């Protein structure tokens, strides 16, 4: 990390694009698994599961490679349900 006062502009832009990418992947997987006109909960299930894998299981590599404690990694699973649910909530946009 560079010395001096931290700036977060670059990280926030990268995080935004990461969230968009996860949402696109979740929509793609749901689109391949669920037909148009499907019930909202079916779409929610596939998009939510994909978002879970992208946001949660991706954290495991920090414990594996960077020696972050596993308890901290598991705590992140508990603290981040909002991102998974927010991604899955876009199921109402599913084509009828």
Confidence category of residue 89, pLDDT binned at 50, 70, 90: low
The C-alpha atoms of residue 27 and residue 91 are separated, in whole angstroms, by: 9
pLDDT tens digits for 7-33?
A: 788 888 888 888 888 888 888 888 888
Q: Where are the alpha helices (DSSP H) in the chain?
A: 9-33, 40-55, 60-65, 70-79, 81-88
Regarding pTM above 0.75, the answer is no
HSE-CB for 63 with a 13 A CA cutoff? 14
- Cβ atoms 38, 94 nearer than 8 A: yes
pLDDT tens digits for 33-75?
A: 888 888 878 888 888 888 888 878 878 888 888 888 999 888 8
Domain locations in the chain as residue ranges:
9-93
């Amino acid at each position: 990390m560079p010395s001096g006062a931290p700036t977060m502009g670059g990280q926030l832009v990268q995080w935004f694009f990461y969230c968009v990418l996860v949402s696109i992947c979740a929509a793609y997987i749901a689109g391949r698994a669920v037909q148009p006109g499907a019930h909202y909960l079916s779409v929610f299930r596939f998009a939510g599961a994909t978002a879970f894998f992208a946001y949660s299981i991706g954290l495991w590599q920090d414990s594996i490679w960077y020696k972050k404690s596993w308890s901290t990694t598991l705590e992140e699973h508990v603290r981040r349900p909002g991102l998974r649910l927010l991604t899955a909530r876009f199921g109402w946009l599913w084509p009828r």
